[in-house]
Structure 1
Amino acid sequence: MTLKRVIRQTTIESVEGAGHFDAIVVGSGASGGLAAYKMTKAGMRVLVLDAGLVPPLWQRPVSRTLNGLVKLVSNPIALQYLPARVTWKAREWLKLAGRHRQAVQSTCYAWEGLPDGFVDDLDNPYETPDEQSFNWIRTHNIGGRMVVPGHGRQYLRHSESDFSPSDSASPDWPVTLAEMAPWYEEVERLLQLSGQANGSEWVPDSLISNDISPGPAQRAIMHAIQEKWPEARPMLGRFADPLDSMAMAAETGQLACRTGAMAARLLVSGGQRAQGVEFYDKRERRRAKAHAPIVFLCASSFETTRLLLNSRQDGALRQTGAPDGPLGRYIMDHVSVKAEGLMPDRGMARADFDIGNCIYLPRFDLCSATARGTKRGFGVRLYRVPGPGERSYFTAVSDAEMLPNADNRLTIGDQRDRWGIPTLRIDYRLGRDEQYQMRDQ
């Protein structure tokens, strides 16, 4: 059975049927889709609730038309034939127009690739303290952020130093690299990763299905990097197309999927056992309930926290998230810096283009003797997208990890979204270490 057919057949009546499902999964992104696939493959009847539902053209004619134009001018194929000045100017103007309903989402570099996949900021508000803004980027769509064009598609394992940081700024993870290794391998086998095994102490080797070598242009770039920074250890990224786990789950015949379902709160028994989920159904324009003895919360970290906090406020969860407890605290974001520009192709064949086939520089911070940021450092990814003529768009992206801080937290704010669900207040700021980290990057 196809996923489209599953979605068509998952009516509100079938969702509300008592005792119909073995498990409910909230969210259909990388984790939710894989959870659904694993359980349906084992013979369990699974319901996936996903918030995504693109409004019809007649309901949002301006935004739907605008979003179509945005996707057109940002398409990698179009970039090869349109003059660079034309595409940059068109994207700039269209992004400006998109701010009417997506003022926050349109600030994301990947927004242009799938505007309809990102939330409508007017329908999905949130609060921040005065003079302390935070851009909450979020998608509501089958597949989550992984299927957004422009996603880097990198799948790198954490190292032992990630699981057990030596800086004592946070406790060790409750699992080790050795314990995670078989789970990494299972996912990597499904993904069919392309890349190389490098023996890096910072990026443990993965299960590689398609062993590839750097092309001539990549070798030249790697050589130039090592000439300038001898301590650098450039490597190819490890990449794959997004795993279509929801379609794989649909093929088992055990999947139900309701789109346009905004999870509002957990249904919990008197013994604090999950019994299901209450959600707002965008099609029926009313609240509904789905029941199952197992519930997987696989929305984004912020959305999952909102669901738990709202469940606590409604009295469903008595012990989770006490006022002085950890729920909602220690929120962390990437400390990211990006540089991009249009440069000569340097001999790279256009037929070789794959957005995931990038160069990665692990722990590039170690190449600087003056780095003052966190001891956890940062890496750099170098991407290339074919441009007009004999030139390409090159992008360097550096991501670093924040340190946990209890004052960076999520609470339930005073606003409600379009569907009457209480929204988040995000209290977040960069600390001194993160500010030093940004300067290092």
Structure 2
Amino acid sequence: MADAIVVGSGACGGVAALALAQAGLKVLVLEAGPELSAPRAFGSEPLNSLKRLAALSSGRQTLAAQHPGYWKANPDLYVNEWENPYSTPDGQPFLWTRGRQVGGKSLTWGGITLRLSDSEFAAAERDGHGRSWPIRHADLAPYYERLEALLQIHGRADGLPQLPDPSGAPNPALPLTPAEEHLQRCIRRDLDLPLIPSRGFALRRPSDGPWPRSCSQGGALKAALATGRVQLQSEAVVSHVLVDPRSGRARSVEWIHGRSRQRHCSETPLVVLCASTIESLRLLLHSQEVGGLEEVSGLLGQGLMDHVSASCFFALPEQPAPGATELSGAGSCFIPNTLEQRSFHRGYGLWCGIQRFDPPALLKRSRQAAVGFLIGHGEVLSQPDNRVTLHRERRDTWGLPIAHIDCRWSDNEQRMVRHMQERMQAVVASGGGRIAPLADLFVMPLVEPLVQGSLAMAPGAAPPGYYIHELGGAPMGASETDGVLNPWNQLWRTPNLLVCDGSAWPSAGWQSPTLTSMALSWRACSHAAASLKRGEL
């Protein structure tokens, strides 16, 4: 019997396995999808394009194809939507992007690593909406630092109160392009806005080995397996957690083999859910129905969030040619949240890149122009009506109830998007540029039919789920009436059951959430392992 079971092998599952193994525990990691070799996982062109064509023509991946990341990755890293359905209310879409394989969605992660500040952790104390986190940046700072060092991210100290510096980053920030430096000078002068190099991963190099550090197999999961105390079971589709009715403790995890459909029950004194936000909510809700799980706050499934976004492409005239550039988590820049008073609650940042994806001059409408993009990351308020429930009738291929996702943007998000669009107009105008459709900037006869109907090109905000930053539904709280989880990510009435992915977030912040979820996982699992050894869990 394992000392702990971790459900999910992605970014948070890998960290959970590492923290538990480093504490001396024997760990079983259950992953719903198959284990792929690196060549099979990343694929190659033109085979990836042919597989996309087959998946789209058959209807197996019509939802995943709405996200731009789908078009640059191996489609095998996205689920078969026939086998993994979910439901939404009529006329109210939610784009749930899933990756079921060892490594999960870390294999398609963009690799931006921004810390949350106390402005986000204590936001409710400032504006009165929702609940604040029961922890602060100082509680996560040691784990942020460990992750920044382990993953060897790029970053620099910018000294901004709304964006804590990456003190554990061993690599310097990648340089800005000439056009980005130009825009940096202009918006500082005209708009009093900062523009900083992004923080995160550079593009994978051959010297990195088969797996980049941005994915679980190249980072935390790799280190966890190297301890010799971690066993990985792929194709293990978890059904629910079984709770002892007398003690209230989780005693086992029930799962189904993905191919054989054989059912298994694995006993353990500690369970850690890292299955991804909506999948973990589905497991918790099913555990309530059939596993005896007691959750007393009444908040389970409520408060689902994603980041709301708006985007544009633009051109700046007559910019010096850049040297070697890349578009990546580290190879880009940010105009972060400014903490100013606005007509809406919370804040947003603008992700930016200029001269990082220029095609040959013959394919540019204006050969001397520097082409760029701006994409808003906006915090979405936690609303009880935005929620995940179980469908009463429909089941997936393994006979498990599917998730029903009811989520929509509020007036607050709509006001935020309008502000984003006005700010993007002001930023581009400050640099002397113009916003234009992508087809007006590039000659792209083969690509244009694909992007014309894309949600990324549509005006206004894309539907919830589009940004793939789902959060909330099992929030941490200061008491069992304020949250599903306590400040150590434990269920209040079932303390040996931890939830360590995005579902634990009480509020979303505007920053990319993966690094913070990984830090939460490391902190929670280190605490749980110590408690288990003392016989206190």
Whether TM exceeds 0.5 here: the answer is yes
Tell whether the 8 Å contact from 1:152 to 1:356 is kept in structure 2 after alignment: no
Q: Select which of 370, 376, 392 maps to 1:398.
A: 376
8 Å contact kept, 1:118–1:140: yes
Q: What SS does the corresponding residue of 1:410 show, helix, strand or coil?
A: strand
1:276, 1:360 → 2: CA distance?
44
Contact 1:297/1:304 (8 A) holds in 2: yes
Counterpart Cα distance in 2 of 1:185 and 1:436: 35
Aligned counterpart in structure 2 of residue 377 of structure 1, from 338, 347, 355: 347
Q: 1:137 to 1:377 in 2, by over 3 A?
A: same
Aligned length: 386
For 1:221-236, list aligned pairs within 5 A: 221-227=183-189, 229-236=190-197
* Offset from partner CA, 1:345-393 (integer Å, 9 cap, x none): 8522236665532111011685xx9x53x33121011136444325787
Of the three residues 22, 31, 45, the one matched with 2:12 is 31
**Does residue 299 of structure 1 match 2:275?**
yes
The answer on 1:182 being equivalent to 2:114 is no
Which stretch has the larger CA shift, 172-181 or 298-307? 172-181
Q: Structure 1 residue aligned with 2:287, among 308, 311, 335?
A: 311
Q: CA shift at 1:213, angstroms?
A: 6.0
- Tell me if 1:200 matches 2:160: yes
Aligned residue number for residue 411 of structure 2: 432
**Contact (CA 8 Å) 1:22, 1:46: kept in 2 or not?**
yes
1:197-217 Cα distance to aligned partner (Å, 9 max, x none): 011011011112112363452
CA distance in 1: counterparts of 2:186 and 2:55, whole angstroms: 38
Distance 2:278 2:308 in 1: 17
Match of 2:333 in 1: 359
Deviates more, 1:251-260 or 1:211-220: 211-220
Structure 2 SS opposite 1:210: coil
Counterpart code for 2:114: L
Q: CA deviation at 1:309?
A: 0.4
- In structure 2, the residue matched to 1:327 is 300
The 3 A distance-change label for structure 1 pair 433 and 297 is same
- The C-alpha deviation readout for 1:389-430, integer Å capped at 9, x for no partner, is 257874322111111111111111021001101011111111
Alignment of 1:126-141 (within 5 A): 126-141=86-101
Partners of 2:28 and 2:376 in 1: CA distance: 38
Q: How does 1:153-192 map to 2 (within 5 A)?
A: 153-165=111-123, 166-192=126-152
Matches of 1:294 and 1:259 in 2, distance apart?
19
How many angstroms apart in 1 are the aligned matches of 2:106 and 2:374?
A: 20
**Residue type of the alignment partner of 1:250:** L
The answer as to 2:209 corresponding to 1:249 is no
**What's the secondary structure of 1:420's corresponding residue?**
coil
Matches of 1:206 and 1:133, distance apart in 2: 36
SS at match of 1:205: coil
Give the TM-score taking structure 2 as reference length: 0.66
Contact 2:177 2:325 in 1 (8 A): no
What 5-or-longer segments of structure 2 have no aligned partner?
202-212, 365-369, 421-537
Which AA in structure 1 matches 2:224? A
The 2-side partners of 1:263 and 1:352 are apart by 39
Structure 1 stretch displaced more, 389-398 or 325-334: 389-398
Percent identical residues: 32
Residue by residue over 1:285-319, the C-alpha shift from the partner in whole angstroms, topping out at 9 and shown as x without a partner, is 222122211110001111001001001111421x2
Instruction: Determine if contact 2:337/2:349 at 8 Å carries over to the other structure.
Output: yes
In 2: Cα distance, 1:343 partner to 1:49 partner = 49
Aligned to 1:59: none
Are 1:95 and 1:106, in contact at CA under 8 Å, matched by a contact in 2? no
The alpha-carbon distance between structure 1 residues 162 and 389, as it changes in their structure 2 partners (threshold 3 A), is same
- Alpha-carbon distance in 2 for matches of 1:261, 1:432: 41
1:96–1:315 CA distance, 2 compared to 1 (3 A)? closer
Give the aligned residue type for 1:163.
Answer: F
Distance change (3 Å), C-alpha of 1:33 and 1:346: farther
Aligned match for 2:199, one of 238, 260, 266: 238
Q: Does residue 348 of structure 1 match 2:297? A: no
1:180 alignment partner AA: L
**Pair 304,96 (structure 1): closer, same or farther in 2 beyond 3 Å:** closer
Give the structure-1-normalised TM-score. 0.80
- Change in Cα spacing, 1:43 to 1:438, as seen in structure 2 (3 Å) is same
Distance 2:197 2:347 in 1: 19
Partners of 2:377 and 2:58 in 1: CA distance = 26
**Using the alignment, how far apart are the partners of 2:142 and 2:233 within structure 1?**
32
User: Which structure shows the bigger proportion of residues in strand conformation?
Assistant: 1
Structure 2 counterpart of 1:11: none
Q: Secondary structure at the match of 2:222?
A: helix
1:338 deviates by 2.5
Which residue of the partner structure matches residue 210 of structure 1? 171
Name the SS of the counterpart of 1:399 in structure 2: strand
CA gap of 1:278–1:383, structure 2 versus 1, over 3 A, is farther
Name the structure 1 match of 2:359: 388
- Residues 55-88 of structure 1 show CA distances to partners (whole Å, capped at 9, x for unaligned) of 9xxxxxxxx9xx8657756xxxxxxxxxxxxxxx
Q: How many Å apart are 1:253 and its aligned residue?
A: 1.4
Alignment partner for residue 106 of structure 1, among 42, 60, 65?
Answer: 65
Q: 1:146 to 1:412 in 2, by over 3 A?
A: same
Once residues 352 and 246 of structure 1 are traced to their aligned partners in structure 2, the CA distance between those partners, rounded to angstroms, is: 27
Whether the 8 Å CA contact 2:60–2:81 is kept in 1: the answer is yes
* 1:365 and 1:378 in contact (8 A); partners too: no
Structure 1's unaligned 5+ residue stretches are 1-18, 56-63, 74-89
Worse overlay, 134-143 or 157-166: 134-143
